[in-house]
Amino acid sequence: MKKIRYTSVAVATLAAATLASANNKVSADATNNTVITESARQTVQDAVSDAQNAVNSAQSNVNSKEQALSDAQGKAQTANNAYTTQQSKLIDSQKNLANKQEAVKQAQNNLDNAEKLAQQATPENIKQTRKNISDQQKVIQNAQGNVNDANTELNRAQDQLNNAKQKQANAQKLVNNKNLAKQDADNNVSKAEADVKNSGLNEAEQNVQKVQTTLDNIKKTNSSNESVLKQNQTALADNKKKIADLNNKIDAAKKNVADAQNNVKDKQQALATAQKALSDLQDQVAQDQASGAAGFFKAIADNKDNSESLREDAQTAYNIITGQPNAYQDITVEWAKKAVDLGQEKDSTSLNNIEKALGYYQHWMTYRDKYGLSHPSISLTAVAIAMLSSDFQHYSDEFNHPILLTAKYGPFYEDEEDISAGDVNPIDNWMSEKADIDNYIKDHPDAATYSFESNYPLTQDEWEKDVDFWNDKPVYIGHYTSMIKPGANYVGLAGNEYEIQPLMNNADSMDEITFNPNGMDFDSYQNLVHSYLQNVKQEDKIKTLNANVTTANQNLTNAQNAVKSAQNNVKSLQDNLAELNNSSDKINKAIADTQAALAKGKANLEFEQKQLDQANQTLADVQAKVGTKAKALDNAKTAQSKAAEALSQAQKALSGTEVEVKTAQSNVETAQNNLNTKNNDLKDAQNKLTALNQTLSNLENSKTNLEKAQKALDNANDEALQATKDVDAQQSIMSSLKKNKEKADAQVITATEKLKQAQSDLTVAQGRLAAEQKIAEQEAQKYNQPTEQPTSQPSEQPTSQPTAQPSEQPTSQPTAQPTEQPSEQPAIESNTQLPGEQKNEEPQPMTIQVTTKKGKTSIVEPTNSSSTQPTTKQGAQQLPQTGNQKSSSLIGLSFAGLLSALGLTKVNKKRKD
């Protein structure tokens, strides 16, 4: 048996031509040397049939899973609808409960008021209330009398108002009459003036007045011009003197500008020198501060004046925060260099946060003093461990002790550690756990003897006894007991300013280490910190240099301002000079104009004087002619004056009546307001009487009212209890429906996953069918090559393949012609020997007919013709897909068309493969 290599189309599925012959015989064509045996045909048919069955089964499974998913989605929708409906019912029942609870509250208030009233319903109170009623009735009688008096006063004021209005009407009538008389007098004056006007007297008088006015104006103008001329002449002399002075000042001001500019250069150099000195020092301080705690510890370790134990403690602390291997306890903290950002502002190793932690220690000692406890020593090693623990809260993704997370983050030092987070003093935060003990003691007074405060001072034995007692109690006091442990020593505190969790900043840590001989009292540690900060920050020197820069800046600014001031002074002086020169020109022109105006004024004055003399002569002539008409005008004007005086007196009288009416109106309003007040007093007294009567009724019926209030409260409580039960019932139903909803949702997810798997299985089965069909095709090509091609072939070969395997199979199809040819043939290796293959035997030709169903190939008995012309038919149906995979099927081929399309009509022994 030899190994044969076949080629196959990677994507297309070619319907395999399965060979069959009647009675298991072989017929041969003289021109064909290919032989296909019955066993080969059966093997091909079985493989293709199995693959097709697998596709059908996979398609059926997909359909089943699609239906299962649809059913699960329907159940899930039903469960969700029920859950939503129940939510509304629960909300309604909760609202009803709130209303009932409010009703209980109101009923309780009513009952409380009724109980208070019942307590007040003593015979003495009832008797006093009756007396108050009798007294109030007297008050009402007095108030009614006051109302009657106020009504009388209002009527009197109204009568006075009516009288005043009548006087006003009479005065108005007199004014009207006097006004008519005035109008008659005015008409008479107008008529007399018309008579005089026609005589030419007015024109003559007006002409005299006009000429006189003109003459006066000329005199006034001439006098004014003479004064202006003197002023301008004086101003011109002053300007000449000022111009000479300004020229001298301008020369001096220009020299000041040059001097000020030279001074600016000196001040610029002084500023640059001061700024450089400040910058150099600030750079050095920033460099020193950037090292933070590392620089602090290193400075102590390198200072040979310190004790050996202190230097050793500082070196250990330096190694810890810089992440050195085996820095302490033979442990290497793997995350130290990642978590610690040495010296940065928010890091626990920054100098500001080191100084801030001093306050935590001092605050802690105030608590320990209350318990009579010693002050623990400060260990630089413990301080460094506290810094790592604090920064770990920013580095890790959970808020916890690093010693408890060694499986995830690696080893950490063994110590007693307290951590805190938030914008609070960590000592207060830890000590606040004492409230758990206080609350427990409120409910269990016998526990007070274990309160840690029952003995002063607190001893280690007493502390341990109390801790043992609280260990099995429902309290959380681990940090609190750590704060007040009498034997605490060799501690370190640190804190950062990072955002640890959303809405929570700053992580603080206090770590206590044991068996460390290195330690110091707090004052010594504080002095070390402050001394180092003073040396590093150099605040006094920076302050001095800053002052130097500020002074140099101010000196430069002053020098620059002096230049500007000097330049502005020159410009101002030059502007003043230009203004004086311009003013002199204007004054010279004004003097010339004034002298010309004076010459013209004298001529005008002589002319107008002649005109005035002539106008006076004309007026005298006209006056002599007017005579009687002028006297009549004077009489009319006298009568007009008298009529105007009479009208004025009548108007004054009218004004007096208006004041009288206004006063009377005010009196009426006052009386009305008084009546309103008295009515209100009467109404208040009546209301008080009503209230007293109600109080008496309440006191007398207090027992009945109390019983009614108690009954109302009982009913409200019953309704509230029922509403509570309704809420509980609705909540129970809600919980049940929620479980159903979650179960239904889970079933949808499961059904979806199963459908995806079924679709994937279908794709695999379709691929297998394609492979089996292609193997059949290759076997047909290898051993069955007719010498002639079918009489007709399709004129075109499609370049694309169907996209899906049909899911339904018709029972029969006509014979089919291939409609496309594969374009690629990747190699497939197989060890299968084709049926009928003989090493030294030539295959014999035979004639068979092949028909195809949708997506399936079947065998048809051989025909009597040696060459059968097939017809083509093709069908395709789209199947579900998973991801980017597609399934495809290929149409069946007739035997002759298949051999012709594959070029296997002859066998060449030189090309077996």
Name 501's bridge partners: 504
Euclidean distance between the first and final Cα of the chain, in Å? 14
Q: How far apart are CA 20 and CA 25, in angstroms?
A: 9
For residue 228, what pLDDT is reported?
87
Q: How many CA atoms lie within 13 A of 636 on its CB side?
A: 20
Which residues are CB-contacts of 797 (< 8 A; sequence separation ≥ 6)? 819, 820, 821
Is the bond into 880 cis (omega within 30 degrees of 0)? no
Q: How far apart are CA 417 and CA 387, in angstroms?
A: 11
Q: How far apart are CA 772 and CA 15, in angstroms?
A: 9
Taking the whole predicted model, whether its pTM rises above 0.75 is answered as no
Closest alpha carbon to 783 in 37, 24, 271 = 37
CB atoms within 10 A of CB 678: 20
Is the bond into 818 cis (omega within 30 degrees of 0)? no
* Secondary structure of residue 14 in the 3-state scheme: coil
Closest alpha carbon to 818 in 37, 9, 28, 59 = 9
Name 416's bridge partners: 512
Token readout for 707 is 């019983």
Residue pair 895/849 in contact (Cβ under 8 Å)? The answer is: yes
**Mean pLDDT per 10-residue run, the chain (913 residues)?**
34 34 36 55 88 95 94 94 94 95 94 90 92 93 94 93 92 92 90 77 83 86 85 86 86 87 86 79 67 93 94 96 95 95 94 95 96 94 94 90 94 90 90 96 95 93 96 94 91 90 70 69 95 83 84 88 89 86 85 85 83 83 76 84 91 90 92 94 94 92 91 94 94 93 94 95 94 88 56 40 41 40 37 38 37 37 39 37 35 37 36 31
Residue pair 18/773 in contact (Cβ under 8 Å)? The answer is: no
For residue 519, what pLDDT is reported?
84
For residue 557, what pLDDT is reported?
93
- φ, ψ for residue 81, nearest 5 deg: -60, -45
* Secondary structure of residue 6 in the 3-state scheme: strand
For residue 620, what pLDDT is reported?
82
* DSSP helix, strand, coil percent of the chain (3-state; round to 5): 70, 5, 25
For residue 287, what pLDDT is reported?
67
Q: How far apart are CA 415 and CA 636, in angstroms?
A: 128
